A and B are shown apart, each in its own frame.
Chain A
Amino acid sequence: ETGVTQTPRHLVMGMTNKKSLKCEQHLGHNAMYWYKQSAKKPLELMFVYSLEERVENNSVPSRFSPECPNSSHLFLHLHTLQPEDSALYLCASSQDRDRAPYGYTFGSGTRLTVV
C-alpha cells in the first residue's frame, strides 16, 4: 500500500497537447519530488519541493512545469512534449528535505506515452 497517490496511472498525449499529472500525499510530509524513469536509464530526479517552495530543478526542459500549491499536492504540467519524454513519472515524499531517516514514500507512477 502507498500513502502517495498519483493520477492518472496511464496517459497518452499528442505532442501539441497540454496535460497535468497529479500527486497527493496525506502523510504529513514536507518535501515532495518528481522523478522520471525511462527504460534502461537510472532514475532521474527532476524537481524537489520543500514546504511548497521549489528547492531543486535538475536542468529539466521548460516543457515540464511543476506546481506545489500546498504541502499535500504536487502537479507536473506538460506541454509540447517530445516522444523521448515517454516514461514512468514517479512522485515521492519525505518527512523533510534535510531529513529522510525513513527514506521516501513513492506513488505508483504515471505511465506517459507521447505520440
Chain B
Amino acid sequence: GDSVTQMEGPVTLSEEAFLTINCTYTATGYPSLFWYVQYPGEGLQLLLKATKADDKGSNKGFEATYRKETTSFHLEKGSVQVSDSAVYFCALSDRGYSTLTFGKGTMLLVSP
C-alpha cells in the first residue's frame, strides 16, 4: 500500500539557516504530493503541492520538487524565520483513490 516516510524531528535551527525536511514515498500509481503545515493550536494548511514528476511546488519561500526516480519530495527553504516554527506533514494522493496518506510529521523549531 501507499506510505510516506518523513525524517524524525524536532529539527532545530537558528533564524536564517537553510532548511531541508526529507520525505520519501511508496505508491502504486502516479500520486500527487503535498506538504502541509500545522501551526500551534491550528489545523493543517496546504503549503505546496506537485502533481507530476519534475514539478516544483513553491509557496512562502518553501520549495519541493517531485522526484520520481528517487520517490522523494523534500521540503526546502533558503532562510527560515521564527514564524516558520510548526509541524510539517508530507502527504500523497494516489490517483483513483484520493484518501490522503500522511507522514508522521516533522516539528521545526527556529530560534532567534
Interface residues of A in 87-112 (CB under 8 A from B): 90, 92, 94, 96-109, 111
Give residues of chain A (54-103) contacting chain B, Cβ–Cβ below 8 Å.
56, 90, 92, 94, 96-103
Give the tally of cross-chain contacts (CB within 8 A). 59
The reply to whether B102 and A108 form a contact with Cβ atoms under 8 Å apart is: no
Q: Is A15 an interface residue (CB 8 A)?
A: no
Chain B residue nearest to A2 in the complex (CB): B43
CA distance A4 to B98 in the complex (A): 19
Is there an interface contact between B98 and A42, defined as CB atoms closer than 8 Å? no
User: For residue A104, which residues in chain B have a CB less than 8 angstroms away from its CB?
Assistant: 44, 46, 100
- The size of the chain B interface, using a CB distance under 8 A, is 24
Q: Complex formed: what's the CA distance from A106 to B36 in Å?
A: 10
CA distance A92 to B43 in the complex (A): 9
Whether A98 lies near B91 (C-beta < 8 A) is no
CB B59 to nearest CB in A, in angstroms, measures 12
Q: Do A94 and B42 touch (CB < 8 A)?
A: no
A102: chain B residues within 8 A (beta carbon):
46, 49
Q: Are A101 and B100 in contact (CB under 8 A)?
A: no
Chain A interface (Cβ within 8 Å of chain B)?
2, 4, 6, 31, 33, 42-43, 45, 48, 56, 90, 92, 94, 96-109, 111
Smallest CB-CB A-B distances: 6 pairs: A100-B98, A106-B43, A106-B44, A108-B43, A109-B43, A42-B104
Which residues from chain B sit less than 8 Å from chain A, CB to CB?
32, 34, 36, 41-46, 49, 51, 89, 91, 93, 95-100, 102-105
